[in-house]
Amino acid sequence: MAQKRKIEGGAPEPPPSSVYRDELEEEPESFTEWLKGTYAKYWYGLICLFVDLLVPFTLIAYLDTPLLPEALILTILLLLAAEYAVYRKIWAREEDKL
C-alpha cells in the first residue's frame, strides 16, 4: 500500500513584540496639532478648488469680450502654481527647508 505523507510543521513563531512596539507607542496627534495640520489642509484644498472655479467664471462674466480657452487654462495653471507655492510655504517639512 502507498504510504501517506505526514506534513509536520507548526504555526510560525510570532515576531518579538519589540518589532512593533515603536509603531504602537507613537502618540496620537493632539487636537491643536490636528486642527493646524490635517484639518487646515482640507480647508485649504477646498478653498483652492473654489478659487480655481470662481476666477475663470468671474472673468467670463465681467469681461465683454469672449476669452480664449487657452487664456482660461493659463489662468487656472497660474492659480494652481501660486496655490502650490503657498501650500509649500505653510506646510513645508524640515527636510525641505534646507
pLDDT in tens, 56-95: 888 888 887 777 888 888 999 999 999 999 999 988 875 5
- Non-local CB neighbours of 29 within 8 Å, separated by 6+ positions: 37, 38
Q: How far apart are CA 51 and CA 43, in angstroms?
A: 12
Query: pLDDT grade, residue 21 (50/70/90)?
Result: low
Closest C-alpha to 59, from 80, 47, 75, 45: 75
CB 84 within 8 A of CB 96: no
Query: Between residues 37 and 52, which one has the greater pLDDT?
Result: 52
